[in-house]
Structure 1
Amino acid sequence: MKLKLTLITLLFSLHCIAQDYNVDMQVYKSDVSQTSYARDSTANALVIYDYGNSFIDKETFWLRCQVKQKIKILKAEGIDRGEIEVKLYKGKSSKERIKNIKGATYNSENDEMVKTILEPSAIFREENENYTLVKFVLPKVKVGSVITYSYETQSRFITKYQPWYFQGPDPVLYSEYNTSIPANYDYHVKLVGGRLLDVNDVTIEYNCLEVGRGGAADCTIRKYVMTDIPAYKPESYTTTSLNYISRIEYELNEVKRFDGGVDKLSKTWDDVDKELKTDADFGRQIGKRSLVKNLLPSDIMSIEDQLEKAKTIYQFVLENYTWNGKSERYDVSVKELLKEKNGSVFEINILLENLLNSEGFQVYPVLISTRENGLPTTIYPILTDFNYLILKTTINGKDYFLDATDPYLEFGELPFRCLNQYGRLMDFENESSWEDIKPQGYSLRSHRVNLNFEDDAFFGKVESKFTGYHSHGPKQGYLENPIAYKEGKINSNADFLIENHEVLDFDKTKSDFKEILELSIEPEIIGNKIYLNPFIFKFFTENPFKLEERSYPIDFGYKDIYSYSMKLHLGENLKVAEIPSNISQKLPNNSGTFIFNVESNGNNELTLYFKVKFDLAIYAPEYYDYLKKFMSQVVENQNNTTIVLEK
């Protein structure tokens, strides 16, 4: 009764979300006549029905996966959904194959539904050393078409069971995946993405596989269903889409042979620790003081202050060895780095580890995955999830994460690409463990403006300060080409003229960048009134959040502050005619604030204060609507605020 009730509820909800679309593979006239999808007016196409079925063939023991889709084309940008690609992998002794490709396009002509079949001549193959790419193009696809296609893949490569993507670039009304896995195959099953399954049913099929001499195995039959799935649409402030697209993945753990033996494929972290400790490209190059003997100058070795010594060693590596942009954990050779003076991130940071270790610092390598590479799996070890190496050391009771690939970072700062939540700290004497990677403090961008009014123009200066991650770009831009950096300031804003530019106390190894601009501004003057937008520099010219719905986190990478203040000296000939209203806004749970104040005092001065503060590095999807409204007000304030002065 409970199962029947669940199915009835699901069918009812499907009827509600499908509107006049029919959630099955059959195409109806109403499917073709529909012209939109109410829940996402921006959708280029709509996946009405998405079906998959994967199982081990009883006779060949190959993995078979049957796929069916029914798609509505809503806009011209969605016409390319009629071009299907399937990648078939090749191995040394076998290769995947595809069977039973079928497809059709349904259009409305003279108020009648017309079906056009996929012809064999529209199926193409491209061969590569590692795979075969099969393409087929459905005929007569246009806006308003409904397309259907189906095929089956067959594979002997069952180490990774066929994954299933519920989510993609288009909204999906209904996605169903069925699996049949023999009991002698034990897989790690991982549901990725924040969406929950609408159906997750499990049954047992007895003796689904039989071999000679009485060998047999039962099968676990699973049915997974998701409904009303929004399209995944990339937007600012996120990591790779692989972190968030809803899907099911499989990793083969072990195979129980019919003769009673067990083949263990998946590893524990204890297995990985032992493997990496003796790995020629990793563990055997860590903590080897002989590799760096006599490499450090004596003046560095004689530094007594521990923190100062560590910083100097870090700077020594930055100044003498260059990152070549590679981050592979293979063919790692510190000796080669010492010879060539450039190398991979593993080589450079292992060199730094050896130098710090030789001077008595306790240093641990930390394997991480960069923001573009996706979050590593924490349930069980998959070494291919990691593509980068950083270090962790503790000095005077404070932890520091280090990466000697970027000369514009301060000691203890990591490149932005490394801010991906966590990594695996490798302690070969004890055991490895997960380590949170969170930048300390706030990154700041600040402008302090001081202006005087003379001869129908404003003259004054802007003191700007950038700290943390906001400082990296200005530091690099200024050091690489000071003239181009200044010209970039001039060209980015035609509303003022820069009279002079000065950078204060520049040091690329420090986590800040300070500059002063002397400038003049000609405001808009109509009659005896002066109109001035006080934001000479704008932090946000448009709202970065534009989606109707966002199902994945808003990942800034770090906490930050945007601060702007202005003091206008009006003199004896000006008075304030109109000033904007003050604003005070907060994000839920005090996770961010927006303050805007304008005041006029009796000394012919007008002061303005603006501050936006984000107190979280990562906001959950539930904050999206709040952030969208919050940023809309911030952008509106900067773009359209006007102060009216009167002569």
Structure 2
Amino acid sequence: MKTILVGLLLTVVHSSILFAQKSPSKFGDIPMDDIKMTTYDHDSSASAVILMDFGKCYITENAVSLILNFERHFRIKILSNDALHPGGPADIEIPLLNIGTDEEKVTSLKAVTYNLENGAIVETKLSKDGIFKQKFNKNISLQTFTLPNVKVGSVIEVSYTVTSDFLFNFHNWQFQYKIPVRSSEYWALIPDVLVVTKYQQGYIPITDYESKPQNTSTFQVEAHHWKAQRVPAFKTEPFMTCEKDYVTKVNFAVSQIVQPGRPIVNVMKSWASLNNTLVDEPQFGKLITGSGFLKKKAEELTAGMTDPLAKATAIYNYVKQSIEWDGSKEKYPDNLKEVLENKKGSSADINFILASMFEKVGIPVEMVLLSTRDHGFIRQQYPMERQLNYVICSTKIADKTMLIDATDRLLPMGVLPERCLNGVGMLISRDNHGWITIDTKIKAKTTISADLTIDESASIKGKLSFLYDGYDAHDVRQEYFGKGEQDFVKSFLNNRSWLFEKTEFQNVNDFNTPAKQIHDVVISEHATVTGNVMYVNPFVTNQLTDNVFKAQQREYPVDFGSPQEETYMAKINIPEGFVLDEIPKSRVLMLPGNAARYTYNISVTGNVITAVSIFQINKSLFVQSEYADLREFYNHVVAKQAEQIVLKKKI
């Protein structure tokens, strides 16, 4: 890609248009009121505020080609120490697209920090050696830098231009961030050489919009202009997928590039067209049937086996144990032979090796493209390949379709990592192409058993066992292996006045079996004695003490990822010298369609109290209209689990 000075880009007779759409603020001209600001009037809790955010995207022409330009100029006020953390407002990332040897370039970068010292505004400029470039994935790199000398009270200011030959990558504009925005403005100058679909998203309406034609000697341009004032901070809420799915934003999808005298370039074709290309692509569909160097190992692993499921399992276990996932989410693989030699690769590398080895031993396999939860949901009406960032395998064994990802060593075959559970995926197939549901029949499931005895001083002693299945087993194993057993136990005991007299772990290395931890425990802080009365909550652990859904209303769906179930069973022996005075009442709560259910049964037999609590979330996604019922369901569960058993001394 050519590197072109901004001055050259603007030599065409666009100046009457382009310079009309200037940033509302001159770089370096910082109002004293902004420097002296200590709180933001419209959000006193804000740790920082974007004072001004201006952007413009347009096409220019040089001697040989058209150039896409994206300009941005913004200022941020730092209001508290909460904004000074790594990854905060002073840490800037500029994403840059690269394809082959061509890449987007940053020009005209300026970055300055302003502080008030002895009544005067003092500038600290970013030095060139403070600018870095790092790979994000195969097609995106990040130009990063941290503003210097940033502290509470600072104003930071940044401006830059991104230029590229990638006319299809017309830049989107985000109005809403995790900190409030005082003013945001965007110009999209769309020339007639681009056929562009634009669509807005988010829950903050942007009503200040105008559009009008502005013709030049080179293009006919439709100038679209958005302005927003006092945009509130985007508040993350529990069980959300990806923030960028819900922030207020305007998106652009280029479908065609139509230049006089040149063939029309169809950028946004169709999903079927993408499928047909990938089926015969040497680095996709044909990579599975090729890669002959994998045949010998696949046959060795399955020698003597006749059952296709046994063959698939043997290959799956080999791939996930032999090749470490490097953490990168990719949809297209690199050189598979090198990946196998290096024993490390991307998600695409690993899953294509798995698929090719399946094919070598006669197991039918196809690939599924999807978008991970942190990448955002797929808008199927816009067939843009950039919406997809990940690939997994699909196989059919004994008439049962199985979706497989071999990147996570702690998961059994057929259980997808939770990052993949994001609605739908596109099956790449010569005969069965189409959208398929990406979900799971596996729950995040925990079962807790407590066999406890209380003495007259309210000390509790007994045995606790935790059985973890599905995604809960994965999470526990991840923590167990990540920390080691000793630190895992320390972390488990954090903030608890418990003593483990004996601890045992079972099945942590058998990923096809629920993991278990068992403790002989002494608990000294749970029950209380007041005079002749003892109060005991049956839940010595895993009590739901607080409703995670605090907001009265919610603008976004609640996405649990997978169904959830937690069962708590306690047997409590009443201490000598005490009698039962009061116990909680049994209760059943259920949401419409059995979407969620809570069962609480408590009974007394002789000197033993038995409590059984079963909490179930039976579907993964709750839409906004279901939120009020879900929140109230949690309220009732919290209240129920707070109820006490009351014991009295015998008279």
Q: TM-score higher than 0.5 here?
A: yes
How far the C-alpha of 1:185 sits from its partner, in A, is 1.8
Match of 2:257 among 255, 258, 262: 255
Q: Distance in 2 between matches of 1:620 and 1:573?
A: 52
Q: How does 1:97-108 map to 2 (within 5 A)?
A: 97-98=107-108
Q: Which residue of 2 aligns with 1:608?
A: 611
Report Cα offsets for 1:596-645 as digits up to 9, x if no partner: 4444x36233222323222332333555566556546655665x543222
Q: How does 1:291-440 map to 2 (within 5 A)?
A: 291-296=293-298, 300-328=302-330, 332-375=334-377, 378-427=380-429, 429-430=430-431, 432-440=433-441
How far the C-alpha of 1:413 sits from its partner, in A, is 0.2
Q: Which residue of 1 aligns with 2:216?
A: 209
Does the alignment pair 1:576 with 2:580? yes
Q: 1:58 to 1:281 in 2, by over 3 A?
A: closer
Q: Which residue of 2 aligns with 1:557?
A: 561
- Residue 359 of structure 1 aligns to which amino acid in structure 2? V
For the 8 Å contact 1:443–1:470, the answer to whether it is kept is yes
Q: Distance in 2 between matches of 1:138 and 1:514?
A: 50
Bigger drift between 473-482 and 507-516 goes to 473-482
Match of 1:182 among 159, 184, 191: 191
Q: Which residue of 2 aligns with 1:448?
A: 449
SS of the residue aligned with 1:231?
Answer: coil
Does the alignment pair 1:166 with 2:169? no
For the 8 Å contact 2:450–2:465, the answer to whether it is kept is yes
Report Cα offsets for 1:214-244 as digits up to 9, x if no partner: xxx4332334455664312345433343333
Report Cα offsets for 1:164-191 as digits up to 9, x if no partner: 1111122346644343312222234343
Q: 1:126 to 1:385 in 2, by over 3 A?
A: farther
- Residue 358 of structure 1 aligns to which amino acid in structure 2? K
Q: Which residue of 1 aligns with 2:137?
A: none
Q: Distance in 2 between matches of 1:485 and 1:73?
A: 38
SS of the residue aligned with 2:466?
Answer: strand
Bigger drift between 401-410 and 505-514 goes to 505-514
Does the alignment pair 1:538 with 2:539? no
How far the C-alpha of 1:104 sits from its partner, in A, is 10
Report Cα offsets for 1:289-339 as digits up to 9, x if no partner: 844434346794544444344334433434454444455456633434554
Report Cα offsets for 1:517-557 as digits up to 9, x if no partner: 33344443444433323222225565545568754443321
For the 8 Å contact 2:365–2:395, the answer to whether it is kept is yes
Q: Which residue of 2 aligns with 1:517?
A: 519
- Residue 216 of structure 2 aligns to which amino acid in structure 1? L
Report Cα offsets for 1:340-368 as digits up to 9, x if no partner: 55544333322322333233332111223
Q: Distance in 2 between matches of 1:501 and 1:103?
A: 54
For the 8 Å contact 1:392–1:401, the answer to whether it is kept is yes
SS of the residue aligned with 2:297?
Answer: coil
Q: Which residue of 2 aligns with 1:3?
A: none
Q: Distance in 1 between matches of 2:557 and 2:639?
A: 24
Q: Distance in 2 between matches of 1:576 and 1:473?
A: 39
Q: How many residues align?
A: 602
- Residue 572 of structure 2 aligns to which amino acid in structure 1? L
How far the C-alpha of 1:575 sits from its partner, in A, is 1.2
Q: 1:252 to 1:565 in 2, by over 3 A?
A: same
Does the alignment pair 1:566 with 2:570? yes
SS of the residue aligned with 1:361?
Answer: coil
How far the C-alpha of 1:99 sits from its partner, in A, is 9.7
CA RMSD across the alignment? 4.8
Q: 1:372 to 1:132 in 2, by over 3 A?
A: closer
Q: Distance in 1 between matches of 2:573 and 2:50?
A: 61
SS of the residue aligned with 1:352?
Answer: helix
Q: Which residue of 2 aligns with 1:593?
A: 597
Q: TM-score under structure 1 normalisation?
A: 0.75
How far the C-alpha of 1:483 sits from its partner, in A, is 4.6
Percent of pairs with identical residues: 24
How far the C-alpha of 1:469 sits from its partner, in A, is 0.1
How far the C-alpha of 1:422 sits from its partner, in A, is 2.6
SS of the residue aligned with 1:314?
Answer: helix
For the 8 Å contact 1:183–1:218, the answer to whether it is kept is yes
Q: 5+ unaligned residues in a row in structure 1: which ranges? A: 1-23, 107-113, 212-216
Q: 1:426 to 1:253 in 2, by over 3 A?
A: same
Q: How does 1:1-16 map to 2 (within 5 A)?
A: none
Q: Distance in 2 between matches of 1:477 and 1:76?
A: 30
For the 8 Å contact 1:407–1:508, the answer to whether it is kept is no
Report Cα offsets for 1:376-404 as digits up to 9, x if no partner: 56444554554433111122332211122
Does the alignment pair 1:42 with 2:45? yes
For the 8 Å contact 1:87–1:134, the answer to whether it is kept is no
Q: Distance in 2 between matches of 1:495 and 1:566?
A: 19
Q: Distance in 1 between matches of 2:451 and 2:132?
A: 65
How far the C-alpha of 1:446 sits from its partner, in A, is 1.5
Q: Distance in 1 between matches of 2:553 and 2:83?
A: 20
- Residue 570 of structure 1 aligns to which amino acid in structure 2? I
Q: TM-score under structure 2 normalisation?
A: 0.74
Q: 1:33 to 1:589 in 2, by over 3 A?
A: farther
- Residue 440 of structure 2 aligns to which amino acid in structure 1? P
Report Cα offsets for 1:123-157 as digits up to 9, x if no partner: 545365879889989999849xxx89897858465
Q: Distance in 1 between matches of 2:500 and 2:546?
A: 25
Bigger drift between 73-82 and 552-561 goes to 73-82
Q: 1:447 to 1:489 in 2, by over 3 A?
A: farther
Bigger drift between 507-516 and 151-160 goes to 151-160
Q: 1:354 to 1:494 in 2, by over 3 A?
A: same
Q: Which residue of 2 aligns with 1:470?
A: 472
